[in-house]
Structure 1
């Protein structure tokens, strides 16, 4: 009985234990399921669906790849708000973050009469102080507003070239906006005149960085023309041409050219858009006059300010001419007045009409031949030609002639002035016409000549122009290349020496003529990257020789500056006794090694120099050479000017 009683109690205990165990497990499973479900729902609500939740008894395991460390922390915090944070196990990973991309470096420079402002982002490695000094030198007394920021990233490829080019451009442009990035440079500027606009475009095209897109827009104010002139000629065969053309805008120009095309004109518009039109109806008056000329068998129509002159040919029917003239007079706008001229054959004397000829050779020699009224007019013509071409270039072959037409001396002076617009050619003056033939580097030379003939001789003057534009004669396109400039320096210094006082950097008086010749060449070579290198022989201490060579290179640079050579792109560097070109053990060899070399600078790689570091080097070259002169053990310090190509 007693043993049975004990067994019964043990069995009950075991049963109760088993029931409690199963109940506990069931409770844990319920708590686990509820916790997992609650945490998962909360994570989804917070936008953290990437995280998965696993139950492990009363503990919760968070797994998954978090896009960032911040997202991982948010997932842990979210789970900790639902259950006890101590029950949450972090088994999450964080995705590798992409490398932070370098920012887009860019600067924008504005320059006007009040100063310079610069804004943008540049690499930290750039020498900001040097850039500020460069801008201050350009601004002069005006203010420089610096709003640049920096970022500690490597300078992108091409950054050096565009920043250097931008500073060069800023020197040329007193009113400009320059936008710079590593891939492109945009320049918007204004010029004082169309001629200056052409010069700036030519200069900006030189030494432009390769591989960088350039967008350059330079505007110039329209010139003022007086008298405001259009001259249109139509030949008997139906061909037509402009001797001069002025329009007060794009639309008036199109209207004039349209009327001229209908009258037989072919080719591109020669019209100059300019100020000075006498009326807002200028284009209406011009096109109406050209249309009237188209009804004749040929002739010329000249509109000078508000005066319109219609001239027919000797073969033009008088009745037709009168009809066309009457219709034109009534069709012209109110402010315009019409004059007509219908020439008839002139009886010629056996000797022919008097002529006066002025010729100019390609070498610049000018000769005047033909009849002149009296000694006073002859002296006047000679002095006028001397003023235009130089007295040493003028040869007189004139003769005093009686019976010349009235106003002959005025016609002679007008012919001389017309020839001055040509690089070579001839002008033949007759009583009823002036013939101009030749070549020029001015695109608008025909317009200039026609305008001055009308101004001097009147709108009915018959002018026969045959003028050829030659690009090689244009001063804006005939500039030498950088290498040609250095080659020319080699020519003028061949067999000549730039001399210095012994042991110093002072140029001798004998060297001034050589410097004048070099300066004359470099004035035609703006902004070429030129290095002026100084060398010595091996006598004396090495440090003193290096300093002496630097001082002498600076002295040459200063001599060019005094001669008004643009030296912003030049550098002066002393190399001491390095790179000898002859034996220092002989007197002749030492003399050869004491030299100045002019050479073109090669563009360096991005690793060698950043853009702003190059600016600093150029700024140093532009500064005044104020270092103390050191005397080397060199009794006869002569430097030979040579050229070399790197």
Structure 2
């Protein structure tokens, strides 16, 4: 009886062991088959159809004859993207170069402020050292010449020497250029200082190339930087015109001019194409605003960067005004802010004493209405307001009354100057009264305004100041230091992360809230020197990682700019995979290395500054170590940018 029980137990254990072996076998087979299938698909995707795949357990074998050593390396890289590289065994051969056709020889010469780089494949007959010596003579700094050339043991094709010689001649006169050299063919893409220089350089290059070199040119002159990016379109007495027009591209310019023509523009107009456009949707916003003005039938629309001011004629029907403005507000891209003004129609029967009223909103917009003494006086007041409050924030709707007192214009300008001391409020001027009322964040605003008006209006002038100091408006209070801003960003991000879609610079759904929070802080920080650094893991090619990190850092900068953060002193830098903070050998480590970092750009300490600091105070060892680390970090960043 006992023997039968023992036999049954042993039989059960034996069956279980057998089942485990069978399950393990089939599991390994599934892993093998899936690995082979996925690696083969990746090889086909990379056009490496000469390579085949086999497996033994968890090991993956690459077999076949590679046309070149580079193709063999590409196959290994493709397999390593699918399975762990330690599982890939190389059993590939390389074809005899004697049986191969000559490769396509080419050199990419890149020149900019960071130096000159040579990338490509040259025949062995090319005197490489002589070539590099010539390039070093051309470079501003011989130490900034990067040699990334490879050599192949094939004869130089016809025309190669002429093309290379011509490219070096062109390189001397093109400090910002990309020159692609092939056999008897040269392609040049470069930036020149002006249109005149561009035309002269094109003529010289074509003449020098002659019949020996096939030349392709793409020379351009820099576009002007437009700041602020401005557009102003008016319809007065049925006649449409531009006072100013800016566009970022030819396509955008054509859209804006087409909208203006549809709105009644009959004369020839032009748009300046330049840099500094606040949003890619600028043409769409301009088109919508011009169409809205045409629907109203008159008035003006003014763009200053992303701020839009729409002023319709006095007497416009309120229903029409509300409808047009509502439609425009709903249709405008998110980055643009619209201020629409419908001037009130004065009561012709009881006009009362003449007055001039200037109101300042908390957002900084100034509206001027009432009466001015003449056209010149109105232009002067409007120009002064634009200078003090910004061209996009100032709106003049005052009408001309030549019967006003002689001192009226002085009183108007004094009122605008007093208004500049307020955060929000109004100035009301009549022949007998002068009232300044509102809120300010300046402690001595009342004294400043009183002194100003006493000087401008003369002795015995009667004026009333009703200005309230509010501590929350004081610009000197509550502004964080740059170091506090840097620490605040780290605190805001916390355990969260600004993340992107795989292999792209497009934010994922979780990034919006983080960017909103960071933007709110940076609006308080003001103009601080901030670097937005992009980092990737080590998967993929190094050059692709560097480009991706740069695009992601720039995407963050653009997102902050779209949230109305002042980003003039910010810079976006892509570091690629060069600064890991964790092991790229694990999934968690790679996830940690894919990141965006915010750092203050700290100035280097000169020897004079160091001596001055030594003479005034003694630095602690901890401070010295921190300064050294900051300097080292700054030098590293500059080296990587170069």
Do the two structures share a fold, i.e. TM-score over 0.5? no
Indicate the structure whose relative CO is greater, using CA pairs within 8 Å and at least 6 residues apart: 1
Larger Rg: 1
TM-score (norm 2): 0.32
TM norm structure 1: 0.31
Structure richer in helix, relative to its length: 2
